[in-house]
Amino acid sequence: MKALLAIFITVCLLAATCVASVLIHFNLIWMLVVMTSLWAAIDSKKVELNRYSTSASCRPLPLFFICCLLWIIFFPVYLRARFKIKDGTAVLKTQLPADAALATRFLHNFQRFIPCLIEWSAIGIIMLITLIIGIALFCVEEGWRGPRAWASYRHELEAKGESFDWGALAPPRVPDSQNFYSAPMMSTWFMRRSGETNTSKVLSDRLNFTNTCPKVLIAEVTFGAHAPAGQTNVLLRFNELASHNKAKELAQNIAGPSAFASSGKYCFTAQRVNASQVRPLHIYLEADKQPGIKELISFFGNNEDGPFLFQPSGTNSWHLYTWFCAAPDYLNWTGQFQGDFDLMRAAVKRPYARMDGDYGYPATVPTPNYISFRAAAQTLAQRAQCQMLLGQPEKALQDLTLMNELRRKLEGAPTGKLMTLVAAMINTAIADLYAGIIADGFRLHAWKEPQLAVLQNQLKQIDLTSSLKDAFHSEQVSVSVIMQGEMSRFLARFHPNASSTVKTGKRQPSGILWGFLYFNMVKAVSMEQLLFESIDASKKIIVPSKIDEFHREAESLYRSRVWKPSFPYTWLAAISVPNFARATQTAAKNQTEINEAQIVCALERHRLAHGSYPETLKELSPGTADTLPHDIIGGQPLNYRRTPDGGFELRSVGWNGGFPQYSVIWDASGTVTRLSPAIHIGGWALQ
């Protein structure tokens, strides 16, 4: 009975520790082993264990190490010996005479060893059987609990109006004559079929422009904590927003009005520029420490892909180069693709955009060819920049309109099905590029009333939040279907009957593997539910607190990829759910820029009609702005103020909802300061 009691106590301690480890997501088993071994070592000295003839008799220090190494067997052995000592049934060791022969001592020790070996073996076998039974019961319990946890959570979401029927997300078939992707060359250029190992670059390779103009030195940049007097003609401060805008302005205007190519490879000018026409600037950049190359490029442009090259010219100085490209040269080169653009213009007039493919399973769904969409959008954007530099705003509007219409096809008109995350993010990126080119038009004073009215109407129709919300819902459904499908395929290798229908997402078999699978599904879907709830598509706002919570959950989840007690419950979720926090923040920033661009169009139309900007946004005439978009963070009106020079500033609040961390700033000169989400969640950082 004492042996069974010792085994029972050991198993209970182990089971309680495992449960606690799972609940707090921290491995407590090693603490159990060390603490109980330390207690046994200290207690053995109190009960004078070494005086008795037991299978656990030894000194405290050896007992501690043996118990740590063989805890599952030795700890119950020690408990049994302790029970015997406490109730007086333990036998004292037989003391041999000091002059006993060596053979006698050996025989005596051997006789003691045999019972110990038998006792240890018996307890080991009992513990092994107990563990096997415990594991079996655990498997049965988790195999029963997992599907019910998923069914309960799924029922909770369906009660809120959500559906987990993958088949309901498939887009309906449409007539080929009305389908964008059925138009000549559209599916070849803009669609990526399932099973394709390499994304087609047919269109992107054709539109790849090579600028043959040599690099031109435009500035020598010197760094230091304090600028020396009289040795520089431009002083900038690295961490100052006004200096960032000034640096960008200098880089864009050193050779006359220019525009950074959207591909980030060159700088467009109205005429050809050579090195002899450019007088390099001498810029002193005050900074506490010397910035890196990426930081410098970002400081002088909008992003890390700016058309700049920095080469060291000294210990604390750099030469800044760029490549100029004449607008007429680029337009002449792209003129060879006029037939391709005409095909696109004819195709976007079709009302539907459905990619033909297998929508029965998430992994087989066709997706947009992001390389081709990016190449087409950048080429059209660059053509618009060149046309604005040449004073041709109407032609620029035509190319921008085509770019916007291509973007709209990513929304899956007319039903919005199936909105994949790939399509939503391409849509977001093109919308950002579209707004950036409109800003270039303001900076170059290219837009007039006819173009502004059209652009304002196009901007009004852009809603990135709805597309992103639909994409998150599709991700929710697809992750559950894929997890079940892949588990079924894995089990089918061993049990052919396990490969029955899973594509519908309705099958809920039992078993320990399925139990863990459903726990992973609950974790993955609950995380993506945070993303889904972070967007209120009806009010067109994003809730940053939900995204921040998702970010924390995702970081914690990725750390569980290494072994932890919760590992079986979360590891599939960890590899299935990327950290979408940055993508959501980017969409919020881009939608903010779209909303502000719409208001800026109305403000410019008001100035053209009345000679000045209004004092408040409420003074905009009804014909200029019937409804104004609000701030996507919080839903409040965007912050507008007149500046002393007669211009204006239009600002949005930052991710944390407070000034002075603004997300996007427009001013009357067409300068757009984008403050993109910082790497850390909770603020905006200068981009």
Residues 141-184: pLDDT tens digits? 788 888 888 989 999 999 988 888 888 888 999 999 999 999 99
Residue with tokens 């007992």: 63
Phi-psi region of 238 (alpha: psi -120 to 50; beta: other; left: phi over 0): alpha
Long-range contacts, stretch 634-641, CB < 8 angstroms, 24+ apart:
634/541, 635/539, 635/540, 635/541, 638/595, 638/596, 638/599, 640/599, 640/616
The whole-angstrom separation of Cα 284 and Cα 246 is 13
The confidence score (pLDDT) of residue 399 equals: 97
CA atoms 570, 571, 572, 575: torsion sign: positive
Nearest to 14 by CA among 134, 179, 181: 134
> What are the backbone angles phi and psi of residue 562, rounded to the nearest 5°?
-80, 165
Q: Please say whether the beta carbons of 569 and 516 come within 8 A.
A: yes
Q: What is the pLDDT of residues 554-577, one digit of tens each?
A: 887 777 555 565 677 888 888 888
Neighbouring C-beta atoms of residue 247, cutoff 10 Å: 24
pLDDT range class, residue 671, cuts 50, 70, 90: low
Nearest to 636 by CA among 531, 526, 539, 499: 539
Q: Please say whether the beta carbons of 6 and 12 come within 8 A.
A: no
Residue 278 pLDDT > 70, yes or no? Answer: yes
Alpha-carbon Rg of the chain, whole angstroms? 35
Q: What is the pLDDT of residues 436-447, one digit of tens each?
A: 999 999 989 999
Nearest to 190 by CA among 377, 456, 324, 3: 377
Nearest to 345 by CA among 392, 380, 378: 380
Among the residue ranges 95-104, 265-274, 618-627, the one predicted with the least confidence is: 95-104
Which range, 28-37, 170-179, 416-425, is most confident? 170-179
The confidence score (pLDDT) of residue 93 equals: 67
pLDDT range class, residue 450, cuts 50, 70, 90: very high
Which range, 10-24, 550-564, 602-616, is most confident? 602-616
The average confidence (pLDDT) of the chain is 82
Alpha carbon 3 to chain centroid, angstroms: 55
Long-range contacts, stretch 392-400, CB < 8 angstroms, 24+ apart:
393/441, 393/446, 393/447, 393/448, 393/451, 394/450, 394/451, 396/441, 396/446, 396/451, 397/451, 397/454, 397/455, 399/341, 400/434, 400/437, 400/438, 400/455
Q: How large a percentage of the chain has pLDDT more than 90?
A: 28
Integer CA distances (angstroms), 61 to 38, 44, 50, 67, 367, in order: 9, 10, 12, 10, 65
pLDDT range class, residue 29, cuts 50, 70, 90: confident
Indicate the pTM of the whole model. 0.79
